[in-house]
Amino acid sequence: MTNFRKKTIKDVDVSNKAILLRVDYNVQDDSGVLLDDLRLRESLPTIKYLIKNNAKVVICSHRGRPRGEFNPALSNLPVAKHLSQLLNQTVNFADNAFGDVTSKTISSMSFGDILLLENIRFYKGETENLDSFAEKLSEPFDLYVNDAFGASHREHASIAGITKYLPSVAGFLLEKEVSILENATKVPEKPLGIILGGAKISDKIRILENLIPNANTLCIGGAIANTFLLAQGYDVADSLVDESFIDAAINCIDLAKKSNVDLIIPDEVIVTVGQGAENLIRTVAVDQIPAGWRVLDVGPSTIAKFRHSLQDSKTLIWNGPMGMFEQEQFAKGSLEIAKMIGSLNVPTSVIGGGETAAIANIAKIKDQVTHISTGGGASLMLLKGDPLPGIESLMD
């Protein structure tokens, strides 16, 4: 078990302090009603700890990509209302993320109060990571707490820049996310099984290079499997492939052989032609993909093969869908993989990536797996073994 190498809120005195708590509340709403509050619920332990320990809690988050301009559709106001319900306590709202009026509001808060700032990405200084912006943002506060794992791969002012101006520690969610993902990748209980999917092989090659030497079984699906099939001489017809990564795929196949890793690629796929109308979908072996057709999901035989190869795993990591899961007729592979992971009873099962987490939630397996990560890009970077700016800038 690796130890979390940064200070957390338990390592510092938070009482009677004004605290800037950075979270990731990048959630969608429909007419002011949040569609998914997982990220809010995951932040509650940190907020409750700070309130219990008599701190002023000022919460900072982004929503969407407003590109430095005010956009009422991306306001944090509906988030403040929903968070009030979850905490059973009023969460006040500041129309501006910083400035004289907001500073006065913060200074007049009582300890134990909560304030949510307006969307931090309404200001260009945030994504440009301007020192002057980070310094101004830090002025009303005694301590900075990063609990925004899902944004910690960003070198933004409220993630990395602000740590130059305030003592900076991790919240409980950040600590949990990093500890679980680092343990699963660096010191896993073996056998370690990995399922990797998704559309872009460019995102996944470094994950493969990082994880193959530690793995026992590697199952590849999604569009990235097409490049591996092509590298092994299969004709994938009109399927999405990245020919510039064929050599990289061959290198991964060789690395798996050298590392004695069982590499499983699809032997049966779901293919379509035209616009995916019902009568133009077939299940075929990978050596029988018709000319002009394209692969959009893994077939039942592939899922069975994955299950058989992973059933003895003690640690299991899944990142990336098995097909074009946004369309119902090509979602079955991804949902079956989610249900399979839920049913295998693996001691440690970790699901990372935004799309993968969405599939796991649809499949309702949250209570059957160890951890579903709240961060897409951040969990990808950890799986690659890359440092995250939002974590590296915290106090050791």
Between CA 383 and CA 386 the distance in angstroms is 8
Pairing of strands 33-34, 29-30: antiparallel
Q: Which of 309, 310, 275 is nearest to 293 (CA)?
A: 275
Among residues 99, 112, 354, 385, the one annotated as catalytic is: 354
Alpha helices in the chain (DSSP H): 38-52, 77-87, 100-107, 124-127, 131-138, 172-186, 201-211, 224-231, 246-258, 300-310, 332-344, 354-362, 377-384, 389-392
**Is 238 in contact with 292 (CB distance < 8 Å)?**
yes
- Is residue 377 annotated as part of the catalytic site, yes or no? yes
State the Cα angle at 395 between 392 and 396, rounded to 5°: 85
Per the annotation, the verdict on 366 as an active-site residue is no
Angle between helices 201-211 and 246-258 (to 10 degrees): 20
Sheet holding 262-264, edge to edge: 262-264, 217-220, 192-196, 315-319, 348-352, 371-372
d(CA 52, CA 145): 16
- Is residue 39 flagged as an active site residue? yes
Residue of 371, 368, 272, 262 whose CA lies nearest to 319? 371
| 6, 39, 121, 176: the active-site residue | 39
Going from the C-alpha of 310 to that of each of 5, 27, 215, 264, 352, the distances in angstroms are: 31, 33, 11, 10, 17
The kind and range of the H/E element at 297 are: strand 294-298
- Choose the catalytic residue: 99, 112, 276, 377: 377
If residue 58 lies in a helix (H) or strand (E), which one and from where to where? strand 56-60
Identify whether 376 is a catalytic site residue.
Answer: no
Give me the catalytic one of 200, 307, 339, 366. 200
Is residue 347 within 8 A of residue 314, CB to CB? The reply is: yes
Who's near 282: CB < 8 A, 6+ residues apart?
A: 270, 271, 272, 290, 293
2 in Cβ contact with 186 (< 8 Å):
yes
Tell me the backbone φ, ψ of residue 259, rounded to 5 degrees: -90, 5
Q: Is the peptide bond before 188 cis (omega within 30 degrees of 0)?
A: no
- Alpha carbons 149 and 390: distance in angstroms, whole number: 8
Active site residues: 39, 200, 354, 377
